Amino acid sequence: MNFKVLLASAFAIVFSFSSSFGQITNSPKVEEQSAQYVKIKRVELTDAYTVIHLQFTEKSSPQPLFYQFPRKQGQQLPPGSSAIWLDPETRLYKPGETDKKFKFVKADNIPTNTKKGVMPGDTVDFVTYFERLDPGIEVFDFYEGRSTGGNQSWNFYGIHIKNPLKKDSKTPPAVAKADKSVKKPGQPAPKPKVEEKQEPAEEPVAAEQPKSGLDKMKAGKTAIGETISLPNVYFETSKVDLLPESYEELNTLVDLMKESENIKIRVEGHTDNVGDFDKNLDLSRKRAESVRQYLIEKGIDADRIEAKGYGGTRPLAKGASEVERSKNRRVEFVVTQM
């Protein structure tokens, strides 16, 4: 009997230690990533850090595979090798929330201000440390930066982890629910249609595309959580002002929302990944707000429309050409209630 009590106490101590140490998610689900040769093996949440364990596997191609830092004078890499390193400006963030960024702190087994040479077939396990994610953020993005000059950034979108709200958390329930509304309950996130959309004003490439999403909405075939593109919404270059070419499509949306008074939507703004990350997030948010304000001015109740900006973190196309980037500059909306 005493032995059983002692054994139970030991298990309780181990469990208590494990709980205080943090949540661990092995092989977390990742919705999208920019490079398949890097994978997240584990995410661990301690009291102080978000610890991400990653593994890099070098391919046979000898080209550099990470964000390019200036090579130090006299620094040479072995013939046929590549170089890897981690941009110290890498950050984690809550998707769509510009005020939910978590900064990089340190890394093990990968440099941040120099280079690590790797040969074809090499495998490198490394660990990154970031500020601790707030409890309740169970989906986050790992954003290193944009790929330039033939170098590949490592970006991971939609990383799912165990990070529930604490029982004594003072976070209002509505906040937690709002974060989960991005995904359709019980179903995988809907894939937006790959169409050229929005901007620039002088090249309205998408003007001739069909309003298939709005037509479907008009026919009453739209589901909660569905993403509908607005390919004919345009803004002045690098600004938030709607151009007149946008009014026809937005007026159609106004009419549909007036006909179906129970429908609520979330307007989502997206940019390409050229330029400053935070400025792109802010620009996309303000553009979504411009669309929201237009709908309100046309008679739609404000509480039926949300607005969020995602910057360049939800690309439809991965290429670096202007045609590819134009596909990522877009406005769409998600049906949140019917």
pLDDT, tens digit, for every residue of 170-219? Answer: 545 444 444 444 444 444 554 444 444 444 434 444 434 444 578 888 88
pLDDT for residue 264 is more than 60: yes
Of 221, 165, 205, 163, which Cα lies nearest the Cα of 326? 205
CA–CA–CA angle 235, 241, 244 (5° rounding)? 65
What's the number of CA atoms in the CB half-sphere (13 Å) around residue 12? 6
Residues 6+ apart with CB under 8 A from 200: 234, 237, 326
Question: What architecture is domain 193-337?
Answer: 2-Layer Sandwich (3.30)
Give me the pLDDT at residue 167, please.
74
47/335 Cα distance (integer angstroms)? 37
pLDDT tens column, 80-135 = 567 888 989 899 988 867 667 899 999 999 999 888 888 888 899 999 999 999 99
pLDDT tens column, 28-37 = 999 888 788 8
pLDDT for residue 17 is more than 50: no
Give me the pLDDT at residue 146, please.
65
Amino acid type, 335: V
Spatial strand order in the sheet of 227-229: 227-229, 330-337, 264-270, 305-309
286/291 Cα distance (integer angstroms)? 9
Higher pLDDT, 325 or 80: 325
User: Could you tell me the fold of the domain covering 21-179?
Assistant: Immunoglobulin-like (2.60.40)
pLDDT for residue 331 is more than 70: yes
Higher pLDDT, 287 or 319: 287
Task: For tokens 């106490």, name the residue.
Answer: 9
Give SS3 for 328: helix
Give me the pLDDT at residue 35, please.
82
Q: How confident is the model over 276-297, as a mean pLDDT?
A: 92
Q: Is residue 191 a contact partner of residue 316, using CB atoms and an 8 Å limit?
A: no
- Sketch the domain layout of the chain as residue ranges: 21-179, 193-337
Residue 79: pLDDT band by 50, 70, 90 thresholds?
A: low
Give me the pLDDT at residue 217, please.
84
72/115 Cα distance (integer angstroms)? 9
Q: Is residue 136 a contact partner of residue 163, using CB atoms and an 8 Å limit?
A: yes
Find which of 143-152, 183-192, 276-285, 291-300 is predicted with most confidence, using mean pLDDT: 291-300
pLDDT for residue 281 is more than 70: yes
1/117 Cα distance (integer angstroms)? 59
Of 126, 127, 135, which Cα lies nearest the Cα of 162? 135
Q: How confident is the model over 214-231, as a mean pLDDT?
A: 87
Query: Lowest-pLDDT range, 64-73, 97-106, 153-162, 223-232?
Result: 64-73
Give me the pLDDT at residue 326, please.
87
Task: For tokens 């400006």, name the residue.
Answer: 89
Give me the pLDDT at residue 60, please.
58
Give me the pLDDT at residue 259, please.
93
| Topology alike, domains 21-179 and 193-337 | no
Q: How confident is the model over 36-52, as a mean pLDDT?
A: 94
Q: Extract the tokens encoding 326.
A: 């134009």
